[in-house]
Amino acid sequence: MPLVIISRKSDVVSDGDVLYLSEILQDAVADVLDIEENPNARLTKDDVEVRVREPGPLDRNASNLAIEIIANDYPERRADLQRAAETIADIVRNNFEDLIEEGKLGENSFVWILLAPTGFAII
């Protein structure tokens, strides 16, 4: 179950934008990280959890928009990791061209996919 953490400055990325972004990211993350050949790495958008946070007074050098994706590490995902990050970044750019044109997104915004061995148990 991938976890997507959206960190945004609310004066740059509105609540409406972040709700739309959340929906887009659920589909995009499921699509790019799904591995058909590995039954343990299969994903649908319902498997992708999204959390939203805003920088607080103790944060430093906060980006206008940061998308961090944490997912189980499988060799098939590792092999395509950079392409996956670039694909998600392209999807975000294509859906938020207005914020890019206004200079609100760009060099100060990113997608970062972190793969790690994990343990998961349902309570």
**For the residues of 17-71, what is the DSSP string, one character each?**
HHHHHHHHHHHHHHHHH--TT-GGG---GGG-EEEEE---TT--S--SEEEEEEE
> Is there a domain that residue 23 lies in?
yes
> Is there a domain that residue 110 lies in?
yes
Q: How confident is the model at residue 17 (pLDDT cuts 50, 70, 90)?
A: very high
pLDDT at 107: 85
Question: What integer is the mean pLDDT of 22-43?
Answer: 97
pLDDT at 52: 98
Tokens of 101: 């044109």
Q: CATH number, domain at 93?
A: 3.30.429.10
Q: How far is CA 6 from CA 30, 39, 44, 104, 121, in A?
A: 16, 27, 19, 16, 24
Q: How confident is the model at residue 26 (pLDDT cuts 50, 70, 90)?
A: very high
pLDDT in tens, 63-107: 999 999 999 999 999 999 999 999 999 999 999 999 999 999 988
Q: Which of 18-27, 87-96, 113-122 has the lowest mean pLDDT?
A: 113-122
Q: How far is CA 104 from CA 8, 26, 35, 85, in A?
A: 11, 23, 34, 20
Question: What integer is the mean pLDDT of 5-19?
Answer: 96
CA 6/CA 109 separation, integer angstroms:
11
What phi, psi does 51 have (nearest 5°)? -125, 145
CA 50/CA 89 separation, integer angstroms:
16
Tokens of 55: 């920088």
> Is there a domain that residue 121 lies in?
no
> Is there a domain that residue 122 lies in?
no
Count of domains observed in the chain = 1
> Is there a domain that residue 32 lies in?
yes
Q: How confident is the model at residue 118 (pLDDT cuts 50, 70, 90)?
A: confident
Range of the domain at 30: 3-116
> Is there a domain that residue 123 lies in?
no
Q: How confident is the model at residue 24 (pLDDT cuts 50, 70, 90)?
A: very high
